[in-house]
Amino acid sequence: MGRVTAQRPVSRIDGEQRRTRPDTVVVEEPLEIRVNGTPLAVTMRTPGSDVELAQGFLLTEGIIADRADIASIRYCNSVDDNGVNTYNVLDVDLAAGVFLPDTGIERNFYTTSSCGVCGKASLDAIRQRTRHSPATDTVRVPAATIAELPDRLRAAQRVFETTGGLHAAGLFTRTGELLAIKEDVGRHNAVDKLIGWATEQNRVPLRGSILLVSGRASFELAQKAVMAGIPILAAVSAPSSLAIDLAHDTGLTLIGFLRGTTMNIYTHSDRITRFDLLNRARTLPVPCGQYD
């Protein structure tokens, strides 16, 4: 829709020089998600992939299990002062036999771009029971493959190059192939868009996959990974204590501080195998008297 970035004037100071010029910034607008005509949530997001965002949100909230649980998704006729559709309201019709949980409307939560769980009544309300538990996933991934993922994610961040103001979430195969990437002003939105993409592609549960996020690993991001059946969540920054606790309890492998060849594996480290021993051996000095 061409609303991902916008131009704003900025006064730039460089030493003793000062000049005014246009700056490219990321767009942030509200998106209201309605289910069967009833308002459910509002999130501040970067426009684009809104249908995927709604699908991912509903799946990670436990309202749907897969794409078949949705009958239709459409933009409502929400207009601005000039009568132009803002494309900021989505209405999702659930399939026959699929109903909102009793707690869904009562929570009536508001989601900001920095914290997707703000406003939820209690910790128990957000510990959803996943229908796609990663606990039984037997995938194994070499540490060397994990180490390569941040560079691959960064290279694919197109909007970040022009704004510097977006979070990214990437979905990778066990061999490090990038399946999809989503960017958003909110890290939880980027993950929802990614999981929504997988839902649309009928890939859920995401067995054998790796989710990489560009920032920290919060409780909510760990929850979303678990709800989608993702066995490995990696972040370039720190995880929270609740994220670690949730990952431990649900069988999720949680990696933090993924930078270069270093990483911290907080839970279920058996899924990450060591760097290639042959390559490592070639970098070590050969003791005196030993030859190939």
Q: What is the pLDDT along the chain (292 residues), one digit of tens a residue?
A: 457 778 788 888 888 888 898 878 878 899 999 999 999 999 999 999 999 999 999 999 889 999 999 999 999 877 777 777 778 999 999 999 998 876 544 444 555 555 555 544 434 544 557 889 999 999 999 999 999 999 999 998 876 566 566 899 999 999 999 999 999 999 999 999 999 999 999 999 999 999 999 989 999 999 999 999 999 999 999 999 999 999 999 999 999 999 999 999 999 999 999 865 434 444 444 444 443 3
Q: Are strands 141-142 and 272-273 parallel, antiparallel or unpaired?
A: parallel
| Rounded-to-integer distance, Cα 120 and Cα 128, Å | 12
258, containing H or E segment: strand 253-259
H/E element, 127: none
Residues with a catalytic annotation lie at 115
pTM given for the model: 0.84
Question: Can the peptide bond before residue 22 be classed as cis, meaning omega within 30 degrees of 0?
Answer: no
Q: For the range 289-292, what are the long-range contacts, defined as Cβ-Cβ under 8 Å and sequence gap of 24 or more? A: none
> What is the C-alpha to C-alpha distance for residues 167 and 212, in angstroms, rounded to an integer?
11
Rounded-to-integer distance, Cα 135 and Cα 133, Å: 5
Question: What is the sign, positive or negative, of the torsion defined by CA atoms of 251, 253, 256, 262?
Answer: positive
Q: Is the distance from CB of 35 to CB of 94 less than 8 angstroms? A: yes
Burial class (CB in 10 A: 0-12, 13-18, 19+), 188: buried
DSSP assignment of 138-201, as one string? ---EEHHHHHHHHHHHHHT-HHHHHHS--EEEEEE-TT--EEEEEEESSHHHHHHHHHHHHHHT
pLDDT at position 288 is 46
pLDDT for the residue 121: 43
Distance CA 30, CA 204 (A): 27
CB within 8 Å of 240: residues ≥ 6 apart: 216, 217, 218, 219
- Identify the H or E element spanning 212: strand 210-213
